[in-house]
Amino acid sequence: MTHESIQPVDERYMRQAIREAESACEAGDVPVGAVIVHEGRIIGRGYNQRELMQDPTAHAEMIALTAAASALNSWRLSGCTLYVTLEPCSMCAGALVLARIDRLVYGATDPKAGACGSVYNLVEDKRLNHRVQVERGVLEQECAALLRAFFAQQRAKGKK
């Protein structure tokens, strides 16, 4: 995808997801952020909180899904778009399918754990009962830069 092909609305909401990622970084967690939009309004926000909560499932997407389901008073999130700074893992991709999210927009690809086209492609698997429309690489450089800076800082501190 070229930068010129990014829809202004996708860029606007991805910038909100980047703000969430920055919150994760400030809290000492991997900078991944997510927002869920329904009818032009953000109804769920989340950022990685695995360190804070000591919970392996506290990924940005999972937290945003819970908030969005609460906002709609329904686990079915049809008509919603998830914006996330990093390609979702298999847990999060599975949750997107189960939640019936219509559309996924992500920034940076994850060549080690991505489950939306990189390592796996759960969200577009025709064998499943629901598929998610995917837009890849929105503000990819900015999203990837956050991750690179975080991991460089962790290595400088002697952490893996």
A 10 A CB-CB count for 93 gives: 26
Residue type at position 48? N
Map tokens 């997107």 to a residue: 96
The catalytically annotated residue of 20, 61, 87, 140 is 61
Q: Which of 106, 36, 40 is nearest to 69 (CA)?
A: 36
Active site residue 124: no
H helix runs in the chain, sequence order: 8-26, 50-53, 60-72, 90-98, 140-156
Cα–Cα distance, 31 to 127 (Å, whole number): 32
Catalytic residues: 61
